């Protein structure tokens, strides 16, 4: 097993603001690694350091064995990057844009042309390949950006929140492409705010919080930490909420139930989907009137709460200049 | 570990860097041609300024035996070239914001190519801008007296001057990141340089303190040299050498500073 990406004790600070605080991560070659976390957690900072766009304050990182600080050129030859920004030249055609990128990988002209045709085709841009990019829709530009990031056939691909702002169909297409990349043996590091996306694509997920990996594992392992699903119970009489919570307490796996007295709501992580039936039975038996019972997939918020003891959106680094500048 | 099919060399060749530079420059030049904002800034504004200075201020400024239009043209050409250089920093802030710089920096290219290409493109637009200025100058009565090669030398000196200012502007742009800030900061350092100089009025009429500044101001030096080389007013060698010394010193400082700032951007 080879690590395509490794980071040890990676730190990045901007004055007093700590964007990365001793982050450790290893991504096995040929896998998709999902980096999950709220804005400001340090995801983008990590990606930018791996892409040699940013120098770490401390620690080290390497891509395919090349140190990002000592051998930036070697790193850049092995990575492809795409993100939320459409960085292509609007005055040129889609084809010219991707060919230009291919040429930066020093591919001969004919090879660049051939690959440009292939990659535009693959991203559904063949029909508009010879149109100027400023006539493209937002979704088309994003796909072009991705095509440009992949045309060098880099063994390691860094995708920074590639699905943010995409419509559902484009997101589906993106997912298909990432699956294909993995099948071809490409290593993909993907940052996302969506658990379902990481779940669907990644073999391993790292949850980033405050510039560190708070937890990592396979999607199943991570979900197990929140107990598989979340049971949400709302009682009709808010005064009964503590009584209800007591009756349901032992259904929760791992963490304690969260009680929201204002809303009269209880949320608890459960392992067994049958827990919802059990909850209804118990509350009924105790004559606690129920307003709603719902079994939900764990959200990023649930994963966060379980792993960090606080909701994801409460991250104090939410508006850190690190992410702002990036 | 899988071996990559890509070139394993540790450094890029000069030819590769040159080709990267061409790509960056070409991208910028295409943008200039397409955006009316640039056309106005680089071509229309100079024309308006020549007409204003020539016909509004011209009558009120005493320039001795030399006609004001002859006195004015070297100065206003230098000013326009320096203002043209300000677009370097502005453009860089835009490219940083749009992710263009990140896209290029994540590719296997030599990063200084980004700045060399960009400054080269701005130099090229400055050449065109200068031709426009000369044409309008001739139309309103500018009559250089010196030989053609001297005039070419004067224009070359002004272009070199503007090129070096492009690097300063690049450094400012990378450092402040924000287009509006880059624009206001640009005017803060450029306006005093351009106006507290011999570009539009002889320095002898200025108060002592301003004159002391104006006389060592590189804009004064380049304009004086250009004046000597176009209309034969004064000595060319001493201000020309002074200009070159300034330019060498500024390049030595601002090229590494800009490259370093870009690496940390």
ipTM of the complex: 0.83
Q: Does A324 touch chain B (CB under 8 A)?
A: no
* A287 shares its domain with A206: no
Name which of B1, B3, B4, B18 to mutate to probe chain A: the one with the most chain A Cβ atoms within 10 A of its Cβ: B4
Instruction: Determine the residue of chain A that is closest to B177 in CA distance.
Output: A325
Whether residue A234 sits in one domain with residue A218: no
**Range of the structural domain that residue A239 is part of:** 229-296
| Percent of chain B residues past pLDDT 90, beyond the cut | 62
Say yes or no to pLDDT of A26 above 50.
yes
The residues near A234 (Cβ < 8 Å, ≥ 6 apart) are: A263, A264, A265, A266, A290, A291, A292, A293
CA B178 centroid distance within chain: 20
Average pLDDT value for residue range B178-202: 88
DSSP conformation class of B106: T
What percent of chain A stands above pLDDT 90?
46
Rounded Cα distance between B42 and B123, Å, is: 12
Residues 6 or more apart from B3 whose CB is under 8 A from it?
none
- pLDDT band with cut points at 50, 70 and 90 for residue A317: very low
Q: Which residue has the higher pLDDT, A214 or A164?
A: A214
**Per-residue model confidence as pLDDT tens digits over A235-269:** 888 888 888 888 888 888 766 778 888 888 998 88
Helix axes B218-231, B68-98, angle to 10 degrees: 130
Residue A155 lies in a domain: yes
Both A205 and A245 in one domain: the answer is no
Same domain, A270 and A178: no
- In a shared domain, residues A208 and A243: no
Number of domains in chain A: 2
Rounded to 10 deg, the angle between the A138-150 and A94-104 helix axes is 20
Residue A15: how many other CB atoms lie within 10 Å: 6
Q: Are the Cβ atoms of B6 and A77 closer than 8 angstroms?
A: yes
- The lowest-confidence range among A80-94, A122-136, B20-34 is A80-94
Residues 6+ apart with CB under 8 A from B44: none
Instruction: Work out the minimum CA distance from B31 to partner chain A, whole angstroms.
Output: 7
Same domain, A117 and A241: no
pLDDT at B138: 93
Model confidence at A182: pLDDT above 70: yes
C-alpha closest to that of A198 among A162, A173, A241, A233: A162
Name the closest residue on chain B to residue A158, using Cα atoms.
B106
Q: Is the pLDDT of residue B152 over 90?
A: yes
- pLDDT average, residue stretch A66-92: 88
Phi, psi of A169 (to 5 degrees): -70, -45
A131 and A34 together in one domain: yes
B141 in Cβ contact with B229 (< 8 Å): no
- At A315, the pLDDT band (50, 70, 90 cuts) reads very low
3-state secondary structure chain A: CCEEEEEEEEEEEECCEEEEEEEEEEEECCCEEEEECCCCCCHHHHHHHHCCCCCCCEEEEEECCEECCCCHHHHHHHEEEECCCCCCCCCCEHHHHHHHHHHHCCCCHHHHHHHHHHHHHHCCCHHHCCCEHHHCCHHHHHHHHHHHHHCCCCCEEEEECCCCCCCHHHHHHHHHHHHHHHHCCCEEEEEECCHHHHHHHCCEEEEEECCEEEEEECHHHHHHHHCCEEEEEEECCHHHHHHHHHHHHHHCCCCCCEEECCCCEEEEEECCCCHHHHHHHHHHHCCCCEEEEEEECCCHHHHHHHHHCCCHHHCHHHHCHHHHHC
- With a cut of 70, say whether residue A85 has pLDDT above it: no
User: In this structure, is residue A279 part of a structural domain?
Assistant: yes
Residue A156 lies inside a defined structural domain of this protein = yes
Does one domain contain both A256 and A191? no
Q: At what angle do helices B148-176 and B218-231 cross, to 10 degrees?
A: 160
Q: For residues A156 and A129, is the Cβ–Cβ distance under 8 A?
A: no
Domain annotation covers residue A94: yes
Contact between B133 and B80 (Cβ < 8 Å)? yes
Section B113-123 average pLDDT: 96
**Would you say A304 and A310 are in contact if contact means Cβ atoms under 8 Å apart?**
yes
In a domain, B9, yes or no: no
- Same domain (yes/no): A171, A263: no
| pLDDT grade for A61, boundaries at 50, 70 and 90 | very high
- Pick from A208, A223, A238: which residue ends a domain? A223
Q: What is the mean pLDDT of residues A83-106?
A: 87
b/e map B92-104, b = 16+ CB within 10 Å: bbebbeebbbbbb
Residues A250, A138, single domain; the answer is no
**Residue B244 located in a structural domain:** yes
Q: Indicate whether A184 and A264 sit together in one domain.
A: no
- Interface check for B4 against chain A (CB to CB < 8 A): the answer is yes
- In chain A, what percentage of residues exceed pLDDT 70? 90
Mean pLDDT to the nearest integer, B10-26: 91
Confidence label for A301 from pLDDT (cuts 50, 70 and 90): low
Query: Left if phi > 0, otherwise alpha if psi is -120 to 50, otherwise beta: which for A15?
Result: left
Reduced DSSP (H G I as helix, E B as strand, rest coil) percent helix, strand, coil of chain B, to 5: 80, 0, 20
Interchain proximity B4–A78, CB inside 8 Å: yes
φ and ψ at residue A98, rounded to 5 degrees: -70, -35
Domain of B252 in residue numbering reads as 14-264
Please tell me whether residues A261 and A133 are part of one structural domain.
Answer: no
Q: Are B74 and B223 in contact (CB under 8 A)?
A: yes
Domain count, chain B: 1
CATH number of A17's domain: 3.40.50.300
- Average of per-residue pLDDT across B236-260: 95
Is A299 or B246 the better-scoring residue by pLDDT? B246
**Does a structural domain hold residue A325?**
no
The answer to the question of residue B3 being in a domain is no
Q: Kindly state whether residue A110 falls inside one of the protein's structural domains.
A: yes
Q: At what angle do helices B112-139 and B68-98 cross, to 10 degrees?
A: 150
d(CA A147, CA A98): 7
Asked whether residue A170 is domain-assigned, the answer is: yes
Q: CB distance A87–B98 less than 8 Å?
A: yes
**Chain B contacts in chain A segment 166-225 (CB below 8 A):** 185
Q: Flag whether B125 is in a domain.
A: yes
- Region B194-204: what's the mean pLDDT? 89
Closest CA to A24 of A5, A40, A52: A5
The CA–CA distances, whole Å, from A162 to A139, A208, B210 equal: 11, 17, 56
Average pLDDT over residues B139-145: 93
Find the closest chain B residue to A153 by CA distance. B5
Q: A279 vs chain B: nearest CA distance in angstroms?
A: 51
Size of interface A-B (CB pairs under 8 A): 89
- What's the pLDDT band for B139 if we cut at 50, 70, 90? very high
CB within 8 Å: B31 and A103: no
Contacts of A155 in chain B (CB under 8 A): 2, 4
Residue A171 counted as domain residue: yes
CA A252 to chain centre: 27
Quick one: which of B113, B2, B147 has its CA closest to A29? B2
Nearest CA in chain B to A2: B1
Taking Cα atoms as reference points, which of A117, A114, A111, A127 lies closest to residue A95?
Answer: A117
First and final C-alpha spacing in chain A: 32
CB A88 within 8 A of CB A133: yes
């Amino acid at each position: 097993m080879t690590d395509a990406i490794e980071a040890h004790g990676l730190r990045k600070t901007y004055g007093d603001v700590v964007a990365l605080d001793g982050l450790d991560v290893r991504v096995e070659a040929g896998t998709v690694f999902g980096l999950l976390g709220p804005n400001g957690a340090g995801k983008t900072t990590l990606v930018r350091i791996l892409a040699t766009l940013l120098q770490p304050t401390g620690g080290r990182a390497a891509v395919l064995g090349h140190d990002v600080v000592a051998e930036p050129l070697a790193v850049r030859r092995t990575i492809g990057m795409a993100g939320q920004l459409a960085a292509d030249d609007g005055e040129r055609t889609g084809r010219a844009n991707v060919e230009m990128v291919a040429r930066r990988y020093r591919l001969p002209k004919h090879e660049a042309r051939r690959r440009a045709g292939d990659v535009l085709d693959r991203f559904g841009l063949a029909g508009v390949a010879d149109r100027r990019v400023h006539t493209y829709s937002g979704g088309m530009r994003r796909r072009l950006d991705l095509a440009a990031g992949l045309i060098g056939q880099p063994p390691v691909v860094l995708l920074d929140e590639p699905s943010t702002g995409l419509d559902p169909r484009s997101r589906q297409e993106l997912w298909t492409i990432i699956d294909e990349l993995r099948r071809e043996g490409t290593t993909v590091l993907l940052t996302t705010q969506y658990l379902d996306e990481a779940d669907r694509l990644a073999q391993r997920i790292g949850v980033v919080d405050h510039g560190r990996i708070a937890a990592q594992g396979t999607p199943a392992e991570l979900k197990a930490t929140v107990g598989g699903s979340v049971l949400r119970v709302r009682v009709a009489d808010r005064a009964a909420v503590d009584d209800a919570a007591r009756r349901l307490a032992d259904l929760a796996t791992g963490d304690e139930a969260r009680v929201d007295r204002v809303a009269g709501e209880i949320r608890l992580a459960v392992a067994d989907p049958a827990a919802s039936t059990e909850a209804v039975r118990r509350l009924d038996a105790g004559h606690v009137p129920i307003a709603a019972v719902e079994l939900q997939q764990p959200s990023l918020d649930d994963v966060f709460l379980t792993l960090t003891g606080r909701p994801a959106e409460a991250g104090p680094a939410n508006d850190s200049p690190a992410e702002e500048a990036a | 570990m899988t071996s990559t099919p890509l070139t394993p060399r540790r450094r890029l060749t000069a030819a590769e860097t040159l080709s990267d530079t061409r790509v960056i420059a070409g991208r910028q030049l295409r943008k200039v041609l397409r955006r009316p904002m640039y056309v106005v800034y680089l071509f229309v504004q100079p024309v308006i300024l020549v007409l204003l200075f020539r016909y509004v201020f011209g009558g009120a400024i005493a320039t001795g035996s030399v006609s004001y239009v002859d006195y004015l043209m070297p100065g206003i050409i230098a000013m326009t070239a320096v203002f043209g250089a300000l677009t370097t920093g502005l453009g860089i802030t835009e490219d940083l914001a749009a992710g263009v710089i990140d896209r290029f920096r994540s590719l296997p290219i030599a990063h200084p190519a980004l700045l060399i290409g960009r400054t080269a493109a701005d130099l090229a637009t400055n050449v065109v801008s200068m031709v426009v200025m000369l044409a309008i100058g001739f139309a309103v009565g500018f009559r250089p007296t010196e030989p053609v090669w001297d005039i070419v030398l004067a224009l070359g000196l002004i272009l070199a001057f503007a090129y070096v200012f492009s690097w300063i502007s690049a450094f400012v742009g990378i450092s402040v990141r924000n287009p509006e800030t880059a624009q206001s900061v640009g005017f803060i350092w450029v306006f005093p340089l351009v106006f507290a100089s011999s570009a539009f009025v002889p320095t002898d009429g200025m108060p002592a303190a301003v004159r002391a500044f104006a006389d060592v101001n590189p804009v004064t030096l380049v304009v004086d040299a250009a004046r000597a080389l176009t209309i034969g007013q004064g000595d060319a060698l001493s201000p020309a050498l002074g200009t070159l010394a300034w330019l060498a010193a500024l390049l030595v400082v601002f090229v590494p500073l800009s490259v370093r700032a870009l690496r940390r951007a």
